[in-house]
Amino acid sequence: MPGLDLKVVVPHLSVKKGTRPIKQGQGRFRPELIPLIEGEVNKLIEVGFIRGQVSHVDFQHRPCKKEKWTNSNATTGHEALSFMDGLSRYNQIRMAPRDEELTAFRTPKGIYCYKVMPFGLKNAGATHQRAMQKIFDNMLHKNVECYVDDLVVKSKKRENHFHDLRKVLNA
């Protein structure tokens, strides 16, 4: 499966002890939507983002500790900017194997869990930001700004922009 090296970042879910589980049943779907749902599940299985046959899952949505981080706008004074949207960026970060089953969900086809960090986890943004900080290390806030799954490559001088883009894309 493509993605970030496990040495870069592996998210762990911080589950509070003593939290009462909230059980949630499978949602009801119109019959004509079931083949579409199954198609999307099959796509996620094929690319290795989810796995099936989850054992002993209690379908709890447990509160996680919130991590706060900020990202300031620092593009003033730069002559050239390139904006990039990170397609499936969250799905490049593997979940810690012990936490995969905590991401379980039900579909009409069965029970599945994410092998990669799904979009929507409370700390997904902070985890992704940590990965970006490790990958772009000395470029952040100089040539690169990162917010959620978007990157801005910035250059003080227009003639340096292709060099800065190449540096970011090769990171």
Structural domain contains residue 87: yes
Amino acid occupying residue 145: E
Structural domain contains residue 20: no
Query: Could you give the CA distance from residue 74 to residue 152 in angstroms, rounded to a whole number?
Result: 10
Structural domain contains residue 23: no
Structural domain contains residue 13: no
Give the single-character DSSP code of 146. Answer: E
The reported pLDDT for the residue numbered 97 is 87
Range of the domain at 122: 31-65+78-169
73 Cα distance to chain centroid: 22
Query: Could you give the CA distance from residue 38 to residue 45 in angstroms, rounded to a whole number?
Result: 10
CA dihedral sign, ordered 5, 7, 13, 18? positive
**CATH number for the domain including 115?**
3.10.10
Structural domain contains residue 57: yes
Query: Could you give the CA distance from residue 99 to residue 13 in angstroms, rounded to a whole number?
Result: 6
| Structural domain count of the chain | 1
Q: Coil, strand, or helix at residue 162?
A: helix
- pTM > 0.75: yes or no: no
Q: What is the pLDDT of residues 65-123, one digit of tens each?
A: 444 443 345 677 888 888 887 766 777 888 888 888 888 888 888 888 889 888 778 77
Structural domain contains residue 25: no
The reported pLDDT for the residue numbered 66 is 47
4 versus 96: the higher-pLDDT residue is: 96
Amino acid occupying residue 2: P
Structural domain contains residue 9: no
CA dihedral sign, ordered 133, 139, 145, 146? negative
Structural domain contains residue 50: yes
Residues 6 or more apart whose Cβ sits within 8 Å of residue 29:
37, 108
4 Cα distance to chain centroid: 11
Give the single-character DSSP code of 27. Answer: P
Q: What is the mean pLDDT of residues 142-164?
A: 87
